[in-house]
A and B are shown apart, each in its own frame.
Chain A
């Protein structure tokens, strides 16, 4: 057991770390230290420098200036192998596992215990050692299981086991909870607590302010490549962290505007998609923001995709302004006035190596094209209007979207549908993986669009977003609609209860 003592020599100290990418100062003289057996949380908006700082520590980037000390001794980390040798292991957000290999093969990849020198793997030893590591993580996965058959949470534990296989003293976790469900997060936290008790020091990078209190010892806030402050957990209130990260007060994270709610625009009746969506009926009215809550796998994304013609519908009907639009493929759905912001921005939302202009105009091209192709002036006007409205920060409309920050990329995806004049917006996690400042901006835009009379269906797994934005809330539970409730007076607890039990508090008591 190692108690955290802030006054002892830190295990790790980074002093005056600076890094430039081209003309961008990603890190500017950042200091950071880590005590033995400490969980040190690093927060900051996208582009604040969290990942860069950790990549320097992991040997993925080289610092331009600054010093790294381990146990008070200066070390040089120039390659990922240097970091591993020094006992620093990283679990990145995107896993680096070979899906076709087994758990044990992955854990010991390139460090397999060998039977004889020239490369015959000692599988028995390897599997036994993998089993030990997995047990230490309380992970019920066989060492011989093929990685592609595992769930996300299990893969993450395999990654952690891989890090521990190097007897690492320092473990860097980059957004470890991003893809986990509530129960899986709890398990991960237990693992982290146990590792901490064993003396492993952990750097924990995250966006989710609300989970820090459960897990952290100290918090360091980065902003624009500089360290703002390092706080103890008692000092770190959500308000202070938000202020510190944004460099300003984000008074209204959810700037909901009053909107006149009109008649139904979208009517959904008995919508059924296999076993993933069962007999779902609701109305969506003009000017209304309809929040959709539910656990992972409850059918939220299926609902969105079914409305946009991306799922084959077994039963049920969808009407848009009285017109039957059931199962229309995306091209026709867009013509009918639907717009869809998918949850996976990089995988489905954007063509990353194309320009901002190209992306924003894509769904609108039929409208702004003539016999001799796309009207360029009309296109530029359209895109500029959206850039202004969304306050998209870009060098020009000819900038490639891969160069934009996450928040600005998400604004580009939203801008596509404003440009296309969609009357019904289907938004699946519109603010996921976006920094606090952009989040507020995105919610302002969504709120404005409702105030203009658009109808908005917004899926979110973050309840404060739903309660802050929605006029009405749908709750899904295993594909069924178990709640269609006005947002006013609705509590987070009631939604959680509905979403995880499938019935209301009163009903379950009875």
Chain B
């Protein structure tokens, strides 16, 4: 610190700093340990380019949505509608393709669908003063229903759009020594989104205001932050990112399915929480949610490779969410 301070109250800060650093580092360390253990146990099958590519590719849509969810949760809100938005945006885009709309335009339509639903959630929350949990719970059901309604009451399981493979294919491959590493499009999208929003959250007004609102909405208002406008923007962004994720999922399927993403909003929320996000607002980072999502994906992958059955994977995932938050609470008490 180059700047002088009149008084230094550094006493006792060392222990607090230890806990605070541990808190930030723990998700990363957890992921590293998990990868380490799996590498040791299943070197042959786990530690391969193919396996890693698949795991990261599969989790990319979760991460993209979790980025939006992080912003919403940091602002003190929640968005339960993202799972339904995966399905709805996918169905809308696939119907557009069937109607002869070119694929890139259809993708735009899908993202816009998600964004408009997010916008509507934001308006419900700010104009009708609904608690975010309620507004987005309503949106979750309504949008799920809409998706089924426009696919013949859910009779059509997949709205096929075979022309549409590109968003789930490999963009290119990279030669690393004697390894050929494929670079899938969803991973590229995910990395770009993560970098852009990480920057936004740390360096721009949008990000700063998000933390301020989540930490103390009154103080933010009195400091000149336009609370309502800002909240609407956040839910719109979250909806748009859910729409983008819906595009990736639709590409994987070569079409839109009205049953896509049931319960996935909870996976996304879990990723944010494991990564250090707090429901009381003001706390959480984009980097954290990426780690949270990867931790869950690698866990599922590792369980598969170790032959742990699906049911037990769920038990383990549940335990991890609870432990992550319990640890968070514990360190909060330590650093007070």
> Which A residues are within 8 Å of any B CB, using their own CB?
20-25, 308, 310, 329-331, 333-335, 340, 342, 347-354, 358-359, 361-363, 365-366, 369, 372-374, 376, 380, 384, 387-388, 391-397, 402, 416
Contacts and interface: CB of A to CB of B under 8 A. Distances in A.
Interface string B211-253: 1100110111111111000000000000000000000000000
B224 A363 contact: yes
Contact of A351 (B8, B207, B215): B215
B219 A24 contact: no
A219 B71 CA distance: 51
Given A351-B216, A352-B215, A369-B205, A362 B223 contact: yes
A358 B202 CA distance: 11
Given A21-B12, A22-B12, A393-B7, A365 B205 contact: yes
Contacts of B10: 395
B215 A354 contact: yes
Contacts of A374: 203-205, 208
Interface of B: 1, 3-16, 199-200, 203-205, 207-209, 211-212, 215-216, 218-226, 282-283, 336
B7 to A, nearest CB: 4
B173 to A, nearest CB: 33
Nearest to B280: A353
B331 to A, nearest CB: 13
Contact of B219 (A23, A351, A372, A402): A351
Nearest to A374: B203
Given A351-B211, A393-B7, 17 more contacts: A351-B215, A351-B216, A351-B220, A352-B216, A354-B282, A362-B223, A363-B223, A365-B208, A372-B204, A373-B207, A374-B208, A387-B5, A391-B6, A391-B7, A393-B9, A394-B9, A395-B8
B212 A23 contact: no
Contacts of B8: 393, 395
A350 B216 contact: yes
Contact of A347 (B16, B211, B218): B218
A397 B221 CA distance: 22
A365 B204 CA distance: 9
A384 B3 contact: yes
B215 A362 contact: no
Nearest to B208: A365
A354 B7 CA distance: 20
A349 B220 CA distance: 8
A396 B5 contact: yes
Contacts of B223: 330, 334, 362-363, 416
Nearest to B20: A400
B233 to A, nearest CB: 15
Contacts of B283: 353
A331 B15 contact: no
A22 B216 contact: no
7 shortest A-B CB distances, which residue pairs?
Answer: A23-B12, A22-B12, A351-B215, A373-B204, A393-B7, A373-B203, A334-B224
Nearest to B12: A23
Contacts of B282: 351, 353-354
